[in-house]
């Protein structure tokens, strides 16, 4: 027994040391990848607590202080919101601490890149303390999270526009026939995918024998937008390219699908899911994984890329990878020279704060789901309208990005 106890203690100590070393190494080489892992951990914790923590929250007097105990779904939503609130506070505090960092000689640069065991401990403590705050604070956070999520979706749209225009400019700058042909091929493929996908949307979400005028309107409007993008892009005064128009058209079609598939499972016009009431663990896992990838990508791109999202007084982003792959890069980082930081630390953490709000809304169905929808990720009428509004915002911003240089030739866009 004594030998087994010693062996267990040694294994635990080795595991802790290995985790500490691994986390510290990742943090020194690239803080961004470590923050992504921490954020993914917070999403997993939110999902797990949503599934198992309801009975525990029902027994906590300062949470369940109602004369009539709410249903289980209220406590599931409350658990997700409290973890999200802790996540929001953690990244917001870091954003405030990192404000104004210009070069890597700033002492706060070490806080951003190192001290990972301390930061993970602080994150866990903050999340734990959120389960002691009054319900009114959580309710207020729920309300402002809807606006914060909208801002985060806007960030995603701007990032996509920046990526698409950059992609097009990069291939055009090569000024070779091969790359012009590649632009044409990709554009044609995107438009074929858009129209084929739209045909599937008609089949799935406008079943015969039902009045599905709203779904029909969404799908037809999506097709109109796809045509409008091409017309505006090819207008003689715009002299644009089909590539951005085709990619944005395909993305708008995806947003239409995402919105329609988020309709309640018992809605008669949701032909994709109305015959399958049971939801598998695999589908839930896929939904959460998609959320994690979307949120993490947007947060990293927004914090590190040289886009219009970067504040004017902040360091401009570079193409530096998340992890340096050569020892020369690591040795260069060790030079005792006050080099400017490659991205805005404060803005990076601020995007993660907004992403915390967005992920909470997805996991709770925008805090209005009922019945079976409460067990799904991003299902319910609020999710539908958020997706459709995002599509309209994407269309508006894309058209504006094309016509703004013509309307205001003296300004840089």
Q: Is residue 218 part of a domain?
A: yes
Give residue 253's pLDDT: 94
Q: Is residue 394 part of a domain?
A: yes
Give residue 29's pLDDT: 56
Give residue 143's pLDDT: 84
Q: What is the pTM of this model?
A: 0.73
Q: Is residue 319 part of a domain?
A: no
d(CA 413, CA 158): 13
The residues that bridge with 103 in the sheet, in sequence order, are 340
Residues 6 or more apart whose Cβ sits within 8 Å of residue 353 = 87, 88, 91, 92, 95, 148
Give residue 217's pLDDT: 96
Q: Is residue 270 part of a domain?
A: yes
Give residue 285's pLDDT: 62
Give residue 1's pLDDT: 39
Give residue 237's pLDDT: 82
Domain with 247, as residue range(s), is 134-278+365-370+377-412
The residues that bridge with 340 in the sheet, in sequence order, are 103
Q: Is residue 146 part of a domain?
A: yes
Give residue 26's pLDDT: 52
Full DSSP string of 319-362: ---SS--SHHHHHHHTSSS-PBPSS-HHHHHHHHHHHHHHHHHH
Dihedral angle sign, alpha carbons of residues 188, 194, 198, 201: positive
Give residue 360's pLDDT: 86
Residues 6 or more apart whose Cβ sits within 8 Å of residue 350 = 91, 92, 95
d(CA 117, CA 170): 41
Q: Is residue 121 part of a domain?
A: no
Residues 6 or more apart whose Cβ sits within 8 Å of residue 272 = 204, 205, 260, 261
Q: Is residue 301 part of a domain?
A: no
8-state DSSP, 103? B
Low-confidence ranges of the chain (pLDDT < 70): 1-29, 273-292, 294-296, 298-338, 367-379, 411-413
Per-residue pLDDT of 218-249, as tens digits, reads 999 999 999 999 999 988 888 778 899 999 99
Per-residue pLDDT of 92-134, as tens digits, reads 999 999 888 888 788 888 888 888 899 999 999 999 999 999 8
Q: Is residue 263 part of a domain?
A: yes
Q: Which two tokens stand for residue 255?
A: 């947003």
| Structural domain count of the chain | 1
């Amino acid at each position: 027994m004594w030998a087994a106890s010693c062996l267990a203690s040694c294994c635990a100590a080795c595991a802790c040391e290995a985790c500490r070393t691994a986390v510290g190494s990742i943090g020194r080489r690239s803080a961004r990848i470590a923050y992504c892992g921490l954020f993914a951990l917070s999403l997993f914790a939110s999902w797990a607590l949503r599934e198992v923590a309801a009975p525990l929250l029902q027994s906590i007097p300062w949470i369940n202080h109602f004369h009539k105990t709410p249903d289980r779904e209220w406590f599931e939503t409350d658990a997700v919101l409290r973890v999200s609130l802790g996540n929001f506070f953690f990244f917001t505090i870091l954003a405030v601490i990192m404000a104004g960092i210009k070069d890597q000689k700033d002492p706060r640069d070490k806080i951003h890149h190192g001290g990972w065991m301390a930061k993970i401990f602080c994150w866990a403590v903050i999340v734990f303390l959120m389960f002691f705050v009054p319900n009114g604070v959580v309710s207020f956070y729920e309300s402002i999270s809807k606006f914060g999520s909208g801002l985060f979706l806007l960030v995603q749209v701007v990032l996509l526009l920046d990526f698409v225009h950059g992609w097009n400019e990069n291939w055009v700058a090569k000024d070779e026939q091969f790359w012009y042909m590649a632009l044409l091929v990709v554009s044609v493929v995107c438009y074929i995918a858009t129209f084929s996908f739209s045909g599937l949307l008609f089949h799935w979400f406008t079943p015969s024998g039902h009045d599905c005028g709203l779904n029909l309107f969404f799908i037809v409007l999506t097709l109109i937008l796809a045509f409008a993008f091409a017309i505006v892009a090819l207008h003689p005064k715009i002299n644009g390219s089909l590539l951005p128009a085709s990619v944005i058209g395909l993305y708008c079609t995806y947003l239409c699908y995402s919105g329609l598939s988020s309709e309640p499972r018992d809605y008669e016009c949701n032909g994709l899911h109305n015959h399958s009431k049971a939801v598998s663990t695999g589908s839930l896992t896929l939904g959460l994984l998609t959320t994690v990838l979307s949120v993490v990508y947007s947060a990293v791109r927004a914090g590190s890329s040289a886009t219009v999202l970067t504040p004017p007084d902040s360091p401009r982003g570079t193409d530096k990878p998340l992890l340096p792959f050569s020892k020369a890069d690591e040795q260069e980082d060790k030079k005792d020279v006050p080099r400017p930081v490659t991205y805005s630390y404060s803005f990076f953490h601020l995007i993660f704060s907004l992403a915390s709000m967005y992920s909470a809304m997805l996991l709770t169905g925008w805090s209005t789901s009922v019945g079976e929808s409460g067990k799904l990720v991003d299902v319910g009428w609020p999710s539908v309208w958020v997706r459709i509004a995002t599509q309209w915002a994407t269309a508006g911003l894309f058209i504006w990005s094309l016509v703004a240089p013509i309307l205001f030739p003296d300004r840089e866009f």
